[in-house]
Amino acid sequence: MNPSSCAAVREALPWFVGGDLDKVHLDEVRDHLRDCVPCRREAAALQQGVARLARHRDVRPAAVDDDFFAAMHAGIVAQVEVAAAATGAPPAKGLGRGRLRPWLPLAAAAALLAFGFWLGHGGEPDLFVRPALHSTPTSLREPIVVPWSGPRFEMVPLGAEVEPVDGLEGGEPAGWMARSRLHDLVDEGMVLPRNR
């Protein structure tokens, strides 16, 4: 085995195990791994790390459930309504409040405005002066040209089914397919399976 070849493969392995290598280099790395046991061991160790991180996405913290997120949604909307009211911005009336009591943000906004008014009479700098955030931007007064309006995939609502998609730039396996590449190597006898 040519040592420089091993070095080049080792450099490529962190991308290889995550499916982040192009087809040409992918084939070269696979060919090398077919014959080189030390590089196969290194690839397997790296791949286990990627797999552990992928499994980590399924872990959830305790007590984080629908109620947690419902309360979080209400809390965010309340904070934003207060922020909007403090600037006198129109969207304050337009935010969905979830389970929030409707008078609460208005009361908080009134208290903030009263405090700001009191500060103003005291001759102190107005801590609440901010630029008007929600006047219609200039860019919205004219037809908007959107050469590229967002992600390459349409972001779908969280409740919708998501179809698996292929890599945009074509040619490469995506997602779990790429990550399971080493499984293919196991199947081909190139990587020894882990003994349990």
Partner 1 sequence: MLRRVQPLARSEPSHGVAASPAQGPASLPPGLPQAVLELAQDTAVSDAELVRRTLAGQHDPFSALVARYQKRAFFIAWHVVGRTEDARDVAQEAFVRLFKSLDKYDFARSFYTWFYRIVMNLAIDALRKIRSARGSSLDDVLGGLPDEREVAGDVPLQRGEESGQVWSVLDQLDAKFRAVLVLRDIHGLSCREIAPILKVTHATARWRLHRGRQMFKEHWERKHGGSEL
Considering only residues 115 to 174 of the shown chain, the ones binding partner 1 according to CB under 8 A are 130, 133-137, 139-140, 144, 146-162, 164-169, 171-174
Nearest-approach distance from CB 113 to partner 1, in angstroms: 17
Separation between Cα atoms, residue 12 and residue 114, nearest integer Å:
62
Cα 152 to chain centroid distance, Å, stands at 14
Residue 56, φ and ψ in degrees, nearest 5: -65, -25
Q: Is 39 in the site for partner 1 (CB under 8 A)?
A: no
Stretch that binds Zn ion, among 2-10, 62-70, 75-83, 105-113 (CB under 5 A): 2-10
With contacts defined by CB under 5 A, how many residues of the chain interact with Zn ion? 3
Residue from the set 17, 21, 29, 36 that interacts with Zn ion by CB under 5 A? 36
DSSP string, 143-175: PPP-SS-S-SSPPPPTTS-------TTSSS--H
Q: Is 190 in the site for Zn ion (CB under 5 A)?
A: no
Residue closest to 39 by CA, chosen among 64, 66, 6: 6
Partner whose footprint covers residue 39, from Zn ion, partner 1, none (CB < 5 to 8 Å by kind):
Zn ion
Nearest-approach distance from CB 110 to partner 1, in angstroms: 19
Separation between Cα atoms, residue 51 and residue 178, nearest integer Å:
11
Binders of Zn ion among residues 38 to 67 (CB under 5 A) are: 39
